[in-house]
Structure 1
Amino acid sequence: MFHTGVDVVQLSEDQYSVHHVRIFGLTNHLVLDQWNPNTVYFIDQHWNVRELTVTIDTQIDSPRTIFTIPDAATKRAKERLNASLWFPASDICVLSDGTGELYILSTVTRGASDAPRWKILWRGKVSEPAVRCVVAHASLRKTDMFSQSEDGSRTVDCLLLHIKKEEPTAEEENSETLNTETSFVTILEWLTLTRTAGDTPFSVSHHRQIKGKAAPLYAAVEETGRAVFIAGEGKYEIVYDSLKPVEKEKKDSEKDSKEAERDPTYTWTQTMEDLTVTFTVPQGTQKSDIDVVLTPNRLAVELKNGPALLQGPLFRDIDVSVSTWILEGRKLEVGLAKKEDEMLMWPEVVVGDQMGEYFVDPDQARIIHDRLAHLTSDELNPDPRGKNGGASSSSNCQMLEECDAYPENFSCMIRLDGETHQVTNSVNIGTNQWLFNAQLDPQKVPAICLRHDVDGLPIGNQESLPGSGNAWFHAATFNALGYVQASKRDKKFASCPPDTSYTVLCDCVRHVYIYRQPEGTMSPVKNRKTGKVVTEISKQQLVSLDCQDNILGMQTSNERIFILTSQRLYVIRVNDVTTATT
């Protein structure tokens, strides 16, 4: 039992948005040292960083104070967030005190019984004026993809997360659908701290700021320090860079209005057999002034001594022998005959050209309507029993289970380049529910576990060859984890160890659920009905703690699960499910 409890900061009255609940409402107060997986840390009510180490199986040393956050008496009385820390290297710790001050600490020989107290290498405010923030991720940068500098110089990238309230614009105030939640934005402060030589102090060499409308589900700095990975709803963009100005993108509404004001260069329509492209040429244009070149896969329409009206590769091949063009007054019509074996509806005439306007042919619209008529009805479910070829039974959203529900807004995983300020890669994960993040390798970015169908898939990042980009890989499969986690209404934390041999969920109070990967059986099991032989089975175990205190933190290693309450640390040895406390 601890003499002093865990330092816990509750949400205040002004922290009422979904952003605040997602980021600060479920803080994990326990931190595992990935370089020393037998050692965990937490911060007590006196702002002491306490270290606990497992020595023999589940025997735990007494908590040891390894560092005390300065000015605790005055700062703890202010409005603040929970203090947070991250280990980007085996001898460095990044700590935020929750009041706006950041520390880079020297942590030599962490986990050793005779390890010295941590020393401050750098201390400073995140920004001016100071903002309350937590550490989302920290990474020790590598000079290249395969080696680290040996001259004593070191670079640490830190992502610090906070929420800012923005006043609505005049356009938003006049909108009838103004939502108070939209006035809060998420800010990621991306700080780069550099030490040029072994004896010189750290200093802030680069500061960037990333803004998003929603709280990120995942945020991490790339190992090379060139970009950040962010998963979440909505758009994220770099809005400030201390070394170069940020070019603001024009609003989509402005782009759309300009495109709408621009007259189309041509109009076109199509049937299953052919296309007709129509141009308006200057008054007095003669046939001799027009040059039309048709090849099976290319079109060029030009006016002599004038610009090209349309040219480039066609979307599909055409039959040149029956393709024609005709000039009537100021109207130039080019007829393109589709090949008989490629009678498809084209989305465009020339690949990549958006200067034309498409009109649906009335006869073609009628044909399409007739083809789809059997799929619609004026009655609600007119043939529920399938008597006339309909479905055997009707289905509706009430038949879906809670665990089948996905977020309303689509989420994306992006790579945001720190030099160009542009999104270089983006993938839609809107139909893959986020489950948790896990550190599979201390020297790499954390893995993100997503739901796919009913399973959970941790997706990790591995080093790739220079110039080949970043490679994300499927690290493991947790069978039926999607259904399992949806059934746990009181679930607070979820995680898995680096070897992905199991996954663990814990409730707000007392209960810990362990789900192991399939293992071979001593004797095969046979299904009596199907005759299928099962050679592997998965074990599920429940651990009930002997107290009713709230669970404040959880961490996992390959051999142990660490559970932190307000007064105790529980250590569960996974191999034989034995529990020790301190």
Structure 2
Amino acid sequence: MTKIIDLRPKKDFLNLKFEKYQFSSDIITITDEKNLSKNVLRQEPSQGQESWLEARLFAFHNHLFKNPFDSSCWFCDENYEVWRLRKDGTLHNVHSFIACQAPTMYNPTIAFASNDVVILTRGDNNLEMLTTVNSGEKKSYLLEEIEPGVLLDARYIENKSKIIIAMCCIIVVNGKKHSQIVILSYIIKYNNNGIDNLECFQKQHLTVKGSIEYVFIEPNGDYINVLSQDVAKFTYDSLKQIKDEEKKLSSNDSEIKIPKYSWSQDEESLTVWIKIPKKFGDTKANINIKSTGLLISVKDEILIQGELQYRIDHETAVWKYEKETLKLELMKYESGQMWNELIKGDTDGEWLPNETLAAEIHSRLSHLCTDQQQVNDGSSQPAIGFNSEQLEECDLQGKENTLQRINLISHSTTHLVMLGLHNRILFTHKLQSSQVLCIRHDHDGCVWQSVEESPDEWKMIHMSTYPGFGYVEASKTNKKFCISPPDCSYVAIIEHARHGFLYEKPATSATIAKQKIIDLGPDSSHIMGAVATKEYLVIITKNKLFQLKGIR
């Protein structure tokens, strides 16, 4: 049975006294600016790659890849040469892709399976594995005949001599574009001289109707964590037959889903509309409302049932019938507590935005984005700040995100986090053996880290908070990347060209924190990638690599 995980921030980590991020004149110094011998390779969408999923995949592709094991940064140039920027600032050519005649469908990507094993793809139907032997020499191995795609993660399981690779591609299902996760499992075969070859012994496919934000392979190799705009479902496994129930779910993906109920909220209350099937005529519904749950049925048919996300004042609940609809008015037990789902783990409902609430939030929190210095540099592109006209579009009409922990052996979802429409993902990054997610909670950005205590015990721990940052991030309409270092001491929003904004994490009870402006200069080209480390912010354009200091 799937365990529903409810992400409840620690009250001690929420700073209710925080007022704003204030512009600081402190300079973020460009400590090193390297001219690249060749431009960074950028693959444009081809004919037929014109869906929203593909446009998003190409537009927000980060061409700079951070190695979580040594904090180095990697990228690929237009000659298919792979470069590594070390922590000491030196840049080295580490690999040349093997020439291939197959068409390139996606941008090159790099994933780090361990400190000594790197997986690379040009975006065609080949993978390459780069290993470091004891002498420091690097050896490469070609893994052929895969579906072209983008690398999401890789993991070397040393005690099993196994490598697991997660990729993403866009496929057509019943005439509609879907995202597909491809899991490739390789066994490493050794001889007296080291690695002899790699054999792919298992291939698995999972399909997602929306976009895939993130995939993390757990260190044991038995589980993956998938962050996506719809639940991921198995459609193929080369070693295990997909159950009939799973096939049925997948085959129904293209059908239009009619919600069983709709709901909306303001700071004080919830409104729920439940459709009564015509077959029941004037038969009244059986209504059972408790402080933590709902059960609405007509005769023997249950219309809505389950545990509420938070408590309500059930004694003040009222309802009435409007034609063929039952309307419930429920008062929240804690005023101001915003819900991201009505029934825990239930996907049968539809959330309706509240325009009055949106305007109220805008009015109350707009000060978080004021007092921000405008960059007057004479360039044609202004410094992008708060745009109130775009708030409702960028802040309130997102897709429903889910975080699944999936068992690759049993095909089961063991743990599920329903992030809903409000709790958008602000940034993610991988550590050596875990992951960090920053998720919007009301107007804050809460940082969570996954913890696996045992195969059956998995949870997300609230580590820290950026007060007010959820609202600030939503206002940045020119945002391309949102990144943070492993210690989460700051967060940076990088725009498509020239500029960025750096926000220092405030002290626990601080009312004001610093916001600094990043400026690469009027001659810089479009930004293609960015990585945050404890010491530096690294930004790459098509022909230059920048290291910036001034974080502390």
Fold match (TM-score > 0.5) = yes
More displaced, 507-516 or 536-545? 536-545
Identity fraction in percent: 21
Task: Determine which of 186, 189, 201 is the counterpart of 2:179.
Answer: 186
Cα 1:54–1:423 change in 2 (3 A) is closer
Counterpart for residue 487 of structure 2:
499
Q: Is the aligned partner of 1:553 residue 2:529?
A: yes
Tell me, which stretches of 5 or more residues in structure 2 are unaligned?
1-34, 258-282, 304-314, 323-354, 363-389
Q: What is the count of residue pairs matched by the alignment?
A: 410
Looking at structure 2, the residues matched to 373 and 234 of structure 1 have their Cα atoms a distance apart, in angstroms, of 33
Offset of residue 105 of structure 1? 1.3
Which amino acid letter does the alignment assign opposite residue 513 of structure 2?
S
Shift of 1:122: 4.4
1:486 aligns to what SS in structure 2? Answer: helix
Structure number with greater CO (CA < 8 Å, separation at least 6) is 2
The one-character-per-residue Cα deviations of 1:225-244 (angstroms, maximum 9, x if unpaired) are 22221122233211111111
- Aligned equivalents of 2:538, 2:216: Cα separation in 1: 24
* Partner Cα separation in structure 1 for residue 492 and residue 445 of structure 2: 12
Alpha carbons of structure 1 residues 200 and 483: separation in structure 2 relative to 1, 3 Å: same
Instruction: Tell me the distance in 1 between the aligned counterparts of 2:492 and 2:83.
Output: 24
Change (3 A) 1:455 1:397: closer
Q: Cα–Cα, structure 1 residues 468 and 345, in superposed 2: closer, same or farther, change >3 Å?
A: closer
**1:515 maps to 2:503:** yes
The one-letter code of the counterpart of 1:545 is: L
Q: What is the rounded CA distance, in whole Å, between the counterparts of 1:47 and 1:159 in structure 2? A: 22
Q: CA deviation at 1:358?
A: 7.9
Choose between structure 1 and 2: higher strand proportion.
2
Distance 1:271 1:443 in 2: 50
Q: Does structure 1 conserve the Cα–Cα contact (< 8 Å) formed by 2:404 and 2:417?
A: yes
Change (3 A) 1:108 1:484: farther
Equivalents in 1 of 2:154, 2:319: separation in Å? 55
Contact 1:30 1:553 in 2 (8 A): yes
Contact persistence 1:164–1:186 (CA under 8 A) = yes
Corresponding residue of 2:155: 139
Alignment of 1:16-55 (within 5 A): 16-37=50-71, 39-55=72-88
2:38 alignment partner, SS class: coil
Alignment pair present for 1:238 and 2:272: no
Taking the aligned partners of 1:535 and 1:247, their CA distance within structure 2 comes to 54
Matching residue within 534, 541, 544 for 2:519: 544
Structure 2: distance between partners of 1:159 and 1:373: 50
1:70 corresponds to: 98
Report how far residue 162 of structure 1 moved.
0.5
Query: For residues 190-229 of structure 1, what are the alpha-carbon distances to aligned partners after superposition, in whole Å with 9 as ceiling and x for unaligned?
Result: 0111225554422112211111111112222222222221
Which residue pairs with 1:430 in the alignment?
420
Unaligned 5+ residue runs, structure 1?
A: 142-147, 169-182, 257-267, 273-314, 317-341, 360-367, 376-393, 521-533, 577-582
CA distance in 2, matches of 1:184, 1:575: 41
* Secondary structure of 1:103 counterpart: strand
User: How far did 1:400 drift?
Assistant: 5.9
Structure 1 window deviating more from structure 2 (453-462 vs 403-412): it is 403-412
Contact 2:426 2:440 in 1 (8 A): no
CA shift for structure 1 position 487: 1.8
Question: Partner amino acid for 1:565?
Answer: T
Q: For the pair shown, which has the larger CA radius of gyration, 1 or 2?
A: 1
Answer whether contact 2:186 2:202 (CA < 8 A) is retained: yes
The 2-side partners of 1:436 and 1:103 are apart by: 31
Deviation at 1:474, TM superposition (A): 1.5
What CA distance in whole angstroms lies between the structure 2 residues aligned with 1:120 and 1:190? 21
Match of 1:477 in 2: 465
Q: Alpha carbon RMSD of aligned pairs, Å? A: 3.6
* Aligned-partner Cα distance in 1 for 2:477–2:156: 37
- Given that 2:415 and 2:458 are in contact with CA atoms closer than 8 Å, whether structure 1 keeps it comes out as no
Task: State how far apart, in whole Å, the 2-side matches of 1:194 and 1:426 are.
Answer: 30
Shift of 1:399: 5.7
Which AA in structure 2 matches 1:221? I
Give the conservation status (yes or no) of the 8 Å contact 1:41–1:52: yes
- What TM-score, normalized to structure 2? 0.67
CA contact (8 A) 1:440 1:499 kept: no
Q: Is the 8 A contact 1:233 1:410 kept in 2?
A: yes
Alpha-carbon distance in structure 2 between the residues aligned to 1:467 and 1:432: 30
Q: What do residues 17-72 of structure 1 show as CA deviations (whole Å, max 9, x unaligned)?
A: 111122222111111222222x32110110000122242xxxx33x3221000116
In the aligned structure 1, how far is the partner of 2:499 from the partner of 2:285? Answer: 64
Measured at CA, do residues 45 and 468 of structure 1 come closer, stay the same or move farther in structure 2, by a change above 3 Å? same
Matches within 5 A, 1:335-354: 347=295
Q: CA deviation at 1:156?
A: 1.4
Residue 573 of structure 1 is matched in structure 2 by 549
Give the Å deviation of 1:567: 1.2
Residues 188-267 of structure 1: matches in 2 within 5 Å? 188-197=181-190, 199-249=195-245, 251=248
Is 1:450–2:413 an aligned residue pair? no
- Name the structure 2 match of 1:415: 405
- 2:112 is the counterpart of 1:82: no
Equivalent position of 1:166 in the other structure? 173
SS of equivalent to 1:463: strand
